[in-house]
Amino acid sequence: MTKVLVLNGPNLNRLGSREPDVYGSASYADLVSSLTSYATNANFDVDVRQTNDEAELIAWLHEAVDTKSDVIINPAAFTHYSYALRDACAIVTSSGQRLIEVHISNPHAREEFRHTSVISAVATGVIAGFGQNSYLLALQQLTH
User: What is the set of active-site residues?
Assistant: 23, 103
Binding mask 48-77 for ligand DQA (x = CB under 6 A): --------------------------x-xx
Provide, rounded to whole angstroms, the least separation between the CB of residue 117 and ligand DQA: 9
Binding mask 14-53 for ligand DQA (x = CB under 6 A): ----------------------------------------
Residue number with CB closer to ligand DQA (97 or 105): 105
In sequence order, the β-bridge partners of residue 143 are: none
Given a contact cutoff of 8 angstroms between Cβ atoms, the answer to whether 9 and 76 are in contact is: yes
Nearest to 47 by CA among 57, 36, 55, 33: 36
Our CA dihedral for 86, 15, 126, 47, rounded to 10 degrees, sits at 70
